Amino acid sequence: MEQTTEKKKRILSGIQPSGSFTLGNYIGAIRNWAKLQDDFECLYMVADLHALTVRQVPADLRARTKEATAMLLAAGIDTKESILFAQSHVPAHTQLNWILCCNSQFGELSRMTQFKDKSAKHPDNVNGGLFTYPALMAADILIYNADLVPVGQDQTQHLELARTVANRFNNAYSPTFTLPDGYITKEGAKIMSLTDPTKKMSKSDDNQNSFILMNDDRDTIVRKFKRAVTDSDGVIRFDTENKPGISNLMSIYNVFTGKSMDEIAAEFDGRGYADFKVAVGEVVADALDPINAEYEKILADKAYIDNTLKEGAQMASKLANRTLTKVYKKVGLYQI
């Protein structure tokens, strides 16, 4: 009997160890990563090199790379199914980055809104890495010939650039890179800051109350939600334009309970914001508590973490070096 084995599509995604992971990172990325493992061939990367585009305290960056790995494992990344590695452990990324920099145009890189935003946020450190970040991101994706890249809205411009550069390279030399598509997950809602619900919740925010960390304890989680900035009309209704704070809390509650916005509005009808905020805090803590317990166990086992990263880097390098060798040959670098 003829057997048809359809090859799984390959996914690449990364997260910067630029701070401890927030609830935004969990809802928008990590939670989905675990689910994608069944249907796709997944490569997940702790993007330590990308984190360097903003000044980092070396000891903190080192510690956070280890913590990030432990958290990803605790949140369900299974190394029997997926490849988990640190970006700097696979040198082919930076090697391909150079080739792609030489195939990216100054004008294209100048148009990237993240470059403009981060330059404005760190005017004293508008470095070359920040400018060429999208070329490194393109290298991260193209080196594995990833078919799909789960991205938030903030990353679609970078993904488009990766496609442009891949296409340019394929036309200039010969077909080499797969053109990656964005993979938008249904539940990848953008979670907003608790202190300014018009801004994205970000791990590098200076205000500790603006975010929930995945490893915050229950009391901290509930306290932060109690303080969340909302509005004064006292009605629980989903309206991102006029009620961004309440709508953000409703989105979070929806993710963990599966209840629709109408059901949430009905559940808290006439009960006031205080009750609702505590309820949101409780469902978030219920979801994060078991992950945290696992995280603490894994974090205590340095050998396990190091071994995971080592094996991940070996497997990723094998795939990445294959692409890099082809690329080096095609652009005319002398082979010995």
Nearer to ligand AQP, 61 or 109 (CB): 61
- Cα 8 to Cα 29, 40, 88, 185, 306: the distances in Å are 20, 5, 26, 17, 28
151's CB contacts (< 8 A; 6+ apart) are: 158, 159, 182, 183, 184
Element (DSSP H or E) covering residue 216? none
Burial class (CB in 10 A: 0-12, 13-18, 19+), 63: middle
Query: What is the token pair recorded at 50?
Result: 């990308």
Nearer to ligand AQP, 29 or 162 (CB): 29
Residue 159 CB, nearest approach to ligand AQP (Å): 11
Residue 114 structure tokens: 């993240």
Q: Which helix (H) or strand (E) holds 327?
A: helix 302-331
Q: Which of 66, 200, 243, 277 is catalytic?
A: 200
For the bound state, the minimum distance from the C-beta of residue 79 to ligand AQP, rounded and expressed in Å, comes to 20
CB-based closest residue to ligand AQP: 28
DSSP-assigned states of every residue in 128-191: HHHHHHHHHHHHHHHTTT-SEEE--GGGHHHHHHHHHHHHHHHHHS-S-S---EEE--TT-PPP
Q: Which residue among the candidates 66, 203, 224, 243 is catalytic per the annotation?
A: 203
| Least spacing, CB of residue 51 vs ligand AQP, in Å | 7
CB 46 within 8 Å of CB 25: no
In this complex, which beta carbon is closest to ligand AQP, that of residue 23 or of residue 327? 23
Instruction: Using alpha carbons, list the distances in angstroms from residue 121 to 116, 129, 141, 199, 205.
Output: 9, 15, 27, 13, 11
In the complex, the smallest distance separating the C-beta of residue 323 from ligand AQP, rounded to whole angstroms, is 22
Q: Which is nearer to ligand AQP, 76 or 152 (CB)?
A: 152
**Least Cβ distance, residue 16 to ligand AQP (angstroms):** 4
In the bound complex, what is the minimum distance in angstroms from residue 88's beta carbon to ligand AQP?
Answer: 15
| 218 token code pair | 């229950």
- 203 carries an active-site annotation: yes
- Sites of contact with ligand AQP (CB under 6 A): 15-16, 18-19, 22, 24-25, 27-29, 152, 154, 190-191, 200-204
Q: Which residue has the tokens 């148009």?
A: 111
Q: Tell me the C-alpha distance between 136 and 98, whole Å.
A: 8
Q: What is residue 222's DSSP assignment?
A: H
Choose the catalytic residue: 7, 66, 116, 118.
118
Cβ nearer to ligand AQP, comparing 188 with 327: 188
* Catalytic residue ranges: 118, 200, 203
